[in-house]
Amino acid sequence: LPAGLSQWFPALEVLDVSGTGLAEMGAELLSLPCLHTLLAKNNRLGGPGSLPKGLGQAPLARSLRVLNLSGNRFAEVPPVLLQLRGLHSLSLGGNRLHSIPPDIQELRSLEFLYLGGNFITSIPPELAKLPSLKYLVLCDNKIQSIPPQLSQLHSLRSLSLHNNLLTYLPREILNLVHLEELSLRGNPLVVRFVRDLTYNPPSLQELAGRTVKTRNVPYAPSDLPENLVRYLSLASNCPNPKCGGVYFDSCVRQIKFVDFCGKYRLPLMHYLCSPECSSPFSSASQSSTSQSESDSEDEASVAARRMQKVLLG
Amino acid sequence: FRYTRNLVDNGNGKFNLMILCWGEGHGSSIHDHTDSHCFMKILQGNLKETLFEWPEKKGNGEMAKKSERVLRENQCAYINDSIGLHRVENISHTETAVSLHLYSPPFDTCNTFDQRTGHKHKVTMTFYSQFGERTVC
């Protein structure tokens, strides 16, 4: 970027440097107080110096609303980007990302997140902490599973998951009541019943976490190291209505097919907090027909009917 | 948050002429064309068209792809039910796409197909806007 940028154009609000071969954007950006939209797609950004140091302290950190870095060479989300507190819209489509940093949750104002066309293999549960996220695009990646915590994205309207490596979905996806669009094509979703997967016994940390949550042991952020406070906030509720327990990483997983009025059969993964929880749902014969299962069938079929309108072919 | 269908002209009931606007990553379902002629021209960007065979009567397996191609700016394509079914997608993660569609006679329902099973499902198609005015549902 030319060195005199902020002197010549102090009132600049929109800067589009897409398709210019840019490899670095430096301090010239830091003194643009009015910039709300920065489009830098199809460049050679991705190495160190792609974004200036000190971005978090610049006026840009609060003023920037839209950032488009699609079609570049980012192999990881630059940490300095996560300091853009005012960002509403972020696109890193068509880069070389292998993962999403948990600190993505710092982008508290984010409404639109486009990460399609990367090499992402998993989604951190912290992504679900973005309170305003409406539109999440994760298509054309290598994602193998969706964390159940994603159902905490209460504002989510549109979720794009097509062309990934999903074999099942978490049952919690039915909880996304505001979801209007969901794309799932091009995933190897299992079509046949899959037997119970291996149950890994819980770690001591998990057992302690479960106790804290189910017994409502009070704690404040000052009582525990930050990583444990974060861990406790990721508890998931056991869907077995007779259990009321929570689980973190250790759970029994069971695939149940939810039939969308005979049109689609989506394999939903039920996470139960222990093998004892599986009895109300499925009989010992491990039958795959959903008619025999009672409890959650009604809530599942209501949710399924709503989801059917949402599923994009 | 999906591609939009914007009606431009309804040719006194003889045809529908519309403009489709595709965001990055937006794609259609696999669909038929309710016995009508369908012409498509790319006005901006690129669209991938994947042709499929009609599923067998009982439709119980993965649908068979016939061919696929990427249509570039200014290219045209034509399809009708005797040719087959198709899915149209903007596979770009950086560029939007715009296409012009002519359907004659006009139709407002079609069947969408589940690629994994061949099951079809009748849907009503809606417009995002008509003659420049946003259509309120």
Distance from first CA to last CA of chain A, Å, rounded? 43
Burial category of A186 from C-beta neighbours within 10 Å (exposed 0-12, middle 13-18, buried 19 and up)? middle
What distance in Å separates the CA atoms of residue B42 and residue B19, rounded to the nearest whole number? 10
Taking 70 as the threshold, does the pLDDT of residue A198 lie above it? no
Query: Residues near A237 by Cβ (< 8 Å), separated by ≥ 6?
Result: A244, A245, A246
Q: Could you tell me which of A110, A114, A103, A113 has the C-alpha nearest to residue A80?
A: A103
Residue B27 at interface with chain A, using a CB cutoff of 8 Å: yes
Q: Predicted confidence band at A93 (pLDDT cuts at 50, 70, 90)?
A: very high
User: Quick check: is A294 in a domain?
Assistant: no
A63-77, A87-101, A232-246: range with lowest mean pLDDT:
A232-246
Query: Residues near A305 by Cβ (< 8 Å), separated by ≥ 6?
Result: A260, A261
| Overall fold of domain B2-132 | Jelly Rolls (2.60.120)
What distance in Å separates the CA atoms of residue A265 and residue A283, rounded to the nearest whole number? 20
Taking 80 as the threshold, does the pLDDT of residue B80 lie above it? yes
User: Quick check: is A252 in a domain?
Assistant: no
What distance in Å separates the CA atoms of residue A271 and residue A252, rounded to the nearest whole number? 6
pLDDT digit string (tens) for B8-43? 999 899 999 999 999 999 999 999 999 999 999 999
With pLDDT > 90 as the criterion, what percentage of chain B qualifies? 79
Cβ–Cβ of A70/B24 closer than 8 Å?
A: yes
Q: Could you tell me which of B125, B43, B37 has the C-alpha nearest to residue B81?
A: B37
Report which secondary-structure segment, H or E, holds A286: none
What distance in Å separates the CA atoms of residue B11 and residue B7, rounded to the nearest whole number? 11
Residue B86 main-chain phi, psi, to 5 deg:
-145, 165
List the domain boundaries for chain B.
2-132
Q: Predicted confidence band at B119 (pLDDT cuts at 50, 70, 90)?
A: confident
pTM, two decimal places: 0.81
pLDDT digit string (tens) for A183-193? 888 888 876 65
Cβ–Cβ of B94/A41 closer than 8 Å?
A: yes
Residue A87 main-chain phi, psi, to 5 deg:
-65, 130
Amino acid A306 reads: R
Give Cα separations from B136 to A3, B1, B124, B129 (angstroms). 48, 15, 15, 8
**pLDDT given for residue A179 in this prediction:** 84
pLDDT digit string (tens) for B37-77? 999 999 999 999 999 999 987 767 889 999 999 999 999 99
User: Quick check: is A245 in a domain?
Assistant: no
The minimum CA-CA distance between B91 and chain A, rounded to whole Å, is 9
Taking 80 as the threshold, does the pLDDT of residue A270 lie above it? no
**pLDDT given for residue B35 in this prediction:** 95
Q: At A66, which CATH number?
A: 3.80.10.10
Under a CB-based contact definition with an 8 Å cutoff, are residues A36 and A66 in contact?
A: yes
Side-chain-side CA neighbours of residue A169 (13 Å): 26
User: Quick check: is A33 in a domain?
Assistant: yes
The string of DSSP codes covering B85-99 is EEEEE---SS--EEE
Q: Predicted confidence band at B137 (pLDDT cuts at 50, 70, 90)?
A: low
Give Cα separations from B72 to A106, A242, B43, B46 (angstroms). 40, 57, 9, 5
User: Quick check: is A279 in a domain?
Assistant: no
Report which secondary-structure segment, H or E, holds B41: strand B37-44
Annotated binding residues of B for Fe cation: 31, 33, 86
What distance in Å separates the CA atoms of residue A244 and residue A274, rounded to the nearest whole number? 12
Between residues A24 and A297, the one the model is more confident about: A24
Between residues B35 and A285, the one the model is more confident about: B35
Residue B22 main-chain phi, psi, to 5 deg:
-115, 120
**pLDDT given for residue A287 in this prediction:** 37
What distance in Å separates the CA atoms of residue A65 and residue A58, rounded to the nearest whole number? 14
pLDDT digit string (tens) for A130-142? 999 999 999 999 9
Q: Could you say which of B94, B116, B119 has the minimum Cβ distance to residue A93?
A: B94
Strands B16-22 and A181-183, bridge-based pairing = unpaired
User: Quick check: is A76 in a domain?
Assistant: yes
Classify A308 in phi/psi space as left (phi over 0), alpha (psi -120 to 50) or beta: alpha
A272-293 mean pLDDT: 46
Q: Could you say which of A114, A140, A181 has the minimum Cβ distance to residue B2?
A: A181
CB atoms within 10 A of CB A10: 11
Instruction: List the structure tokens of B28.
Output: 């259609």
Q: Could you tell me which of A155, A104, A94, A159 has the C-alpha nearest to residue A126?
A: A104
Cβ–Cβ of A312/B115 closer than 8 Å?
A: no
What's the total number of domains in chain A?
A: 1
Residue B4 main-chain phi, psi, to 5 deg:
-110, 150
Q: What angle do CA B32, A185, A146 make, to 5 degrees?
A: 160
Taking 70 as the threshold, does the pLDDT of residue A116 lie above it? yes
Under a CB-based contact definition with an 8 Å cutoff, are residues B23 and B4 in contact?
A: no
Q: Predicted confidence band at B123 (pLDDT cuts at 50, 70, 90)?
A: confident
Contacts of B31 in chain A (CB under 8 A): 313
CA A283 to chain CA centroid, Å, is 33
Query: Residues near B55 by Cβ (< 8 Å), separated by ≥ 6?
Result: B61, B63, B113, B118, B119, B120
- DSSP designation for A232: H
Its domain, for residue A132, covers 5-185
Residue A263 at interface with chain B, using a CB cutoff of 8 Å: yes
Chain B residue with minimum CA distance to A162: B25
Amino acid A298 reads: D
Contacts of A137 in chain B (CB under 8 A): 24-25
**pLDDT given for residue A108 in this prediction:** 95
